[in-house]
């Protein structure tokens, strides 16, 4: 068997994943793209040598980056996804009956084409949902030019390398703030709390300069090695996050089947161990 070696971004750490069957290997206009079968993880997508998503554990990441902001909002109708070319985030957003429209802006049409063809267990029918508008463009360009306003924005980007780098700047978050409705909420991934130590505090510092309410939450995602993987939830025009009973009411009303997310997991994911809290102070 051949092996895929992931040199983890920002860390002297490597993980090897067996390539039981190569599905696609190539370079788009923006990044190296690798898609392969692994007997333990199912299909694996890697961009510029970094694991983006796997069929086996994608549900953890996509449920947590989507349902935490969606259930934190009282009535999310209009949603924007930046990145998310594998379609996993869009698939989760579209499960919410309140959603009237989702705009998904990914810079790389090739990732979307491959997801439609080979990652149906992740995107399912998301790309065929008539509420979805798919735009192949740089997320920065879109947010600087759109007249649309959104209730929830999900930044499902890769790490701050390659084309994803621009999605980590203060200017970008100021632009996101400007296109949020008054009770708007944003979520974004901010890397491994253990091995990509700077990604979270740097992003959190920027968020605090732009948004009045910012909170970090975590989930353990097996193929994003290093224990807790982090996310930041930011709010505009809101003073505090909904309590557990409100989350439970919204979750039960939405009637969404999940494998990781529950209102209790939602609340618990914001309880941070001291080593993470210290990074944020
Ligand atoms: N779940 C992954 C993670 O946590 O690293 C990210 C998933 S998704 C595959 C990342 C997507 O971001 C890719 O499809 C890539 O094409 C897209 N992307 C990278 N830079 C972008 C940019 N500047 N604007 C829009 N999409 C971008």
- pTM exceeding the 0.75 threshold for the entire prediction: yes
Residue 125: left if φ>0, alpha if ψ -120 to 50, beta else—which one?
alpha
- CATH number for the domain spanning 44: value is 2.30.140.10
Q: How far is CA 4 from CA 16, 54, 121, in A?
A: 6, 13, 21
**Token pair 């990509």 in the structure block, residue:** 196
Q: Within this chain, do residues 39 and 158 fall inside the same structural domain, yes or no?
A: no
> 111 CB less than 6 Å from ligand 1?
yes
Instruction: Supply the residue whose CA is at minimum distance from atom 11 of ligand 1.
Output: 83
Per-residue pLDDT of the chain (281 residues; tens, 9 = 90+): 699 999 887 778 899 999 999 999 999 999 999 999 999 999 999 999 999 999 999 999 999 999 999 999 999 999 999 999 999 999 999 999 999 999 999 999 999 999 999 999 999 999 999 999 999 999 999 999 999 999 999 999 888 778 888 888 899 999 999 999 999 999 999 999 988 878 899 999 999 999 999 999 999 999 998 889 999 999 998 999 999 999 999 999 999 999 999 999 999 999 999 999 999 98
Domain boundary among 54, 77, 93: 54
Which atom number of ligand 1 is nearest to the Cα of residue 167? Answer: 23
> 88 CB less than 6 Å from ligand 1?
no
Instruction: Supply the residue whose CA is at minimum distance from atom 18 of ligand 1.
Output: 83
> 61 CB less than 6 Å from ligand 1?
yes
Which atom number of ligand 1 is nearest to the Cα of residue 45? Answer: 9
Q: Within this chain, do residues 18 and 64 fall inside the same structural domain, yes or no?
A: no
- CATH number for the domain spanning 248: value is 3.40.50.150
Q: Within this chain, do residues 170 and 33 fall inside the same structural domain, yes or no?
A: no
- The question of whether 151 is a catalytic residue gets the answer no
């Amino acid at each position: 068997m051949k092996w895929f070696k992931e040199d983890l971004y920002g860390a002297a750490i490597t993980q090897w994943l067996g390539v039981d069957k190569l599905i696609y290997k190539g370079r788009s206009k923006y990044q190296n793209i690798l898609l392969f079968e692994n007997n333990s993880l199912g299909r694996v997508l890697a961009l510029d040598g970094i694991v983006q998503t796997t069929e086996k554990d994608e549900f953890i990441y996509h449920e947590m980056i989507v349902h935490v902001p969606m259930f934190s909002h009282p009535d999310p109708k209009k949603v924007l996804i930046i990145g998310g070319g594998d379609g996993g985030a869009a698939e989760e957003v579209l499960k919410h009956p309140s959603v009237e429209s989702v705009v998904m802006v990914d810079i790389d049409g090739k990732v979307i084409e491959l997801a439609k063809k080979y990652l149906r267990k992740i995107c399912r029918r998301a790309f065929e949902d008539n509420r979805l508008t798919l735009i192949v463009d740089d997320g920065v360009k879109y947010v600087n030019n759109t007249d649309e306003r959104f209730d929830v924005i999900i930044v499902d980007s890769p790490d701050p390398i390659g084309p994803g780098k621009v999605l980590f700047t203060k200017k970008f978050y100021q632009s996101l703030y400007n296109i949020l409705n008054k009770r708007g909420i944003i979520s974004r991934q901010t890397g491994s709390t253990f091995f990509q130590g700077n990604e979270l505090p740097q992003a959190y510092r920027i968020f605090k300069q732009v948004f009045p309410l910012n909170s970090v939450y975590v989930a353990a995602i097996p193929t994003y090695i290093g224990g807790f993987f982090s996310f930041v939830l930011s709010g505009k025009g809101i003073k505090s996050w909904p309590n557990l009973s409100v989350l439970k009411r919204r979750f039960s009303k939405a009637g969404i089947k999940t494998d990781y997310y529950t209102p209790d997991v939602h609340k618990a994911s914001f309880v941070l161990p001291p080593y993470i809290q210290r990074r944020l102070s």
